[in-house]
Amino acid sequence: MSDQQPYPPYPFNQDPEATVHYRTPGGGPTPAGYGRQAGYGQQPGYEQQAGYGQQAGYGQQAGYGQQAGYGQQPYGYAPPPVEGPPTWQGGELGPPMQPPPPPGHRRKRRGGWLLAVIAAVIVALVGGGGVYAMNLLSGGGTQPEDVLPGDALVYARLDLDPSAAQKLALFSLARKFPATQDSFSGDDPRKALAELIGKSGALDKIDYARDIQPWLGDRIGLALRAPADTKKGQPEVVLAVQVTDEAAARTGLAKLNKGGELKGLAFREGYALMAATQRAADGYAAAAPLSANANFTADLKSLGDPGILSFWADMGHLSKIIADTTGADRAALGLAENARFAGALRFDSGYAELSVATSGVKAVDASEPSRIADLPASTVGAVSISGLGDLLSKQWPELLKTIESAAGAQGGGDIVAMAQQAYGITLPDDAVTLLGKNLTVAVDEKGLDGELPNIGAVLTTDPAKAQEVVAKLEAAAQKSGTGVPQIAKVAADGRLVLASTQDYAALLAQDGALGDSETFKTAVPDAGSASAALYVDLDKLEKYYLNSLNGDERASVEKLKAVGISGRQSGDTGSFTLRVLFN
């Protein structure tokens, strides 16, 4: 990201990682500076009347940092009354000149007591670690979950006015790509979103400045409820849109929803609630909110920063509804029987991150850490998963039922017998041996131009037993005449390495330096403690596919640097992170 910010940095007394909650309805009174009238993103602020950096705009009178602005009146940091005409500075209209202080005059330090109070409050909040502090860090004010129904099974939230750091990163990354750089030419995420949607034709005859901007708030939420009849009905959709003007919102939403299925409209705590019928909308406006759902709040707390986009789902209840609707066997639900997950999309200056927290998933033995960081530095792609052997062993009966149901087999012994006859292996025991405690598969940069690329697998298992299984598979391949190349093998302490060449097998048997790469460490954070990980270095691979691309498509692909995934499991809770790095 360029060192030059698209607009001046936020004031020192604002946490750049926290959404500025007082800019939203329900977040407290809004001063005539930052955020509303004569402030950030409203008339006459961001790209509105008087424009960016002009009078009554960003950084001038009644704007950012001036009279009635952020950090000035009425906050207590205002300079002495100014006199004289405005000055011209660097091609811009600067603040009026101030007369020099009289001789012997010592300017009083204003706001010192306020700084002390703020510092004391921060210490109290951080030290206490209470719910109030968490609310501040998550943006404060009324969230969509505070107005959407508490029995929702699926929830999604979009924050159109995220924290300062998130906004800077989002706009910086969006401007890298031809498809989004025009829409993100300003600094208002709401306008950018409207322009992106407008390109699809979904907002024909809708003018953002006239029909949307006057009433649209900062957040949008969506919830799905179980249908009244789980065997026949469709999920009920509830939409929550934060609004700043109810009357204008009624008019604007009517235009946006013309011919739509959400015909009911009610208001609750600064949000417009839209549902299929007016009766339903009125009911949701009075119902217990999703934020009162203990499972929901616990899952979001484990997730941390909700980012720009966050979501949640009760997979256990959803899967049961799906089983009722489709007639599927509930026993086949397996791991999803009591599962829930929450996720968030976040941005950094160099990457986009999707973070997911899971709960209620049946535990597997994933105590063996990933070995992906020990691969050679020349690795271009790899995946490492722990606990697959234990998972297969525990889930084999249900998996066998599913496979045979899809294949039309009559009995459980048929597939086992076929595997024994065709490959000489015993299921599931031999498969469990190969999967072991950890399975790591890698592809090396060296050899990609040749006839036989360097591909290998590191099996953390009993090497002797694993070699016996491999020997059975090799014998079956030779007997069938498929011409499968000979597999190179290297046995190590508690590991068996299989590779396409003997040199690469020997290299994989050693500890490599992939974990020292800054690109890898950013893409796969805390790889040493991950039970599952994936890494692809796109910069090392792009020479093989860039020449087939042209124009904007090539320009966009060139911005992609690497992709990384890391996940970990502890008991019945887990976490998962996907990062896409950009050049």
Domain segments of the chain: what residues?
17-95+108-137, 142-343, 363-387+437-460+491-582
What token pair was written down for 514?
A: 């992939």
Q: DSSP class of residue 290?
A: G
Biggest alpha carbon–alpha carbon distance for the chain? 103
Confidence grade of residue 181 (pLDDT, cut at 50, 70, 90): confident
The residues pairing with 337 across neighbouring beta strands, listed in sequence order, are none
User: Using CB atoms within 10 A of its CB, is residue 106 exposed (0-12), middle (13-18) or buried (19+)?
Assistant: exposed
Report, as an integer, the average pLDDT of 32-57. 37
The residues pairing with 495 across neighbouring beta strands, listed in sequence order, are 460, 492
Confidence grade of residue 481 (pLDDT, cut at 50, 70, 90): confident
What token pair was written down for 121?
A: 């409050």
What pLDDT is recorded for position 435?
94
Helices and strands in the chain: count of H runs, count of E runs: 17, 18
What token pair was written down for 333?
A: 């639900």
Confidence grade of residue 146 (pLDDT, cut at 50, 70, 90): very high
Q: Is 488 helix (H, G, I), strand (E, B) or coil?
A: strand
What pLDDT is recorded for position 415?
76
Confidence grade of residue 335 (pLDDT, cut at 50, 70, 90): low
Measured CA to CA in angstroms, residue 350 lies from 176, 480, 515, 525 at distances of: 11, 50, 19, 14
CA 203 and chain centroid, separation: 26
Report the share of the chain in percent with pLDDT over 90. Answer: 40
Is the model's pLDDT at 328 over the cut of 70?
no
List the Cα angle 510/513/518 in 5-degree steps: 160
Peptide bond into 16 cis (omega under 30): no
At 504-558, the pLDDT tens digits run 999 999 999 999 999 999 999 999 889 999 999 999 999 998 888 888 889 889 9
Report, as an integer, the average pLDDT of 8-19. 38
Residues 6+ apart with CB under 8 A from 144: 155, 157, 219, 220, 221, 222, 240, 242, 271
Contact 475, 464 (CB under 8 A): no
Measured CA to CA in angstroms, residue 256 lies from 188, 197, 213, 475 at distances of: 20, 12, 13, 66
Between CA 177 and CA 164 the distance in angstroms is 21
Measured CA to CA in angstroms, residue 289 lies from 154, 378, 581 at distances of: 13, 52, 37
Residues 6+ apart with CB under 8 A from 240: 144, 147, 148, 219, 220, 221, 222, 223, 271, 272, 273, 274
Between CA 31 and CA 39 the distance in angstroms is 9
Peptide bond into 29 cis (omega under 30): no
Between CA 361 and CA 336 the distance in angstroms is 7
Confidence grade of residue 413 (pLDDT, cut at 50, 70, 90): low
Is the model's pLDDT at 385 over the cut of 50?
yes
Q: DSSP class of residue 101?
A: P
What token pair was written down for 491?
A: 């046995």
Is the model's pLDDT at 333 over the cut of 60?
no
User: Using CB atoms within 10 A of its CB, is residue 551 exposed (0-12), middle (13-18) or buried (19+)?
Assistant: exposed
pTM above 0.85, yes or no: no
Residues 6+ apart with CB under 8 A from 184: 170, 171, 174, 175, 192
Between CA 467 and CA 492 the distance in angstroms is 12
Single-letter amino acid, residue 25? P
Regarding predicted confidence, which is higher, 105 or 506?
Answer: 506
* Average pLDDT over the chain, rounded to an integer: 76
Is the model's pLDDT at 25 over the cut of 60?
no
Between CA 255 and CA 210 the distance in angstroms is 11
Residues 6+ apart with CB under 8 A from 107: 80, 101
What pLDDT is recorded for position 129?
38
Between CA 580 and CA 523 the distance in angstroms is 7
Between CA 509 and CA 321 the distance in angstroms is 48
What token pair was written down for 466?
A: 């694993």
Between CA 374 and CA 406 the distance in angstroms is 39
Contact 25, 144 (CB under 8 A): no
Residues 6+ apart with CB under 8 A from 183: 174, 192, 195, 196, 199
User: Using CB atoms within 10 A of its CB, is residue 369 exposed (0-12), middle (13-18) or buried (19+)?
Assistant: buried
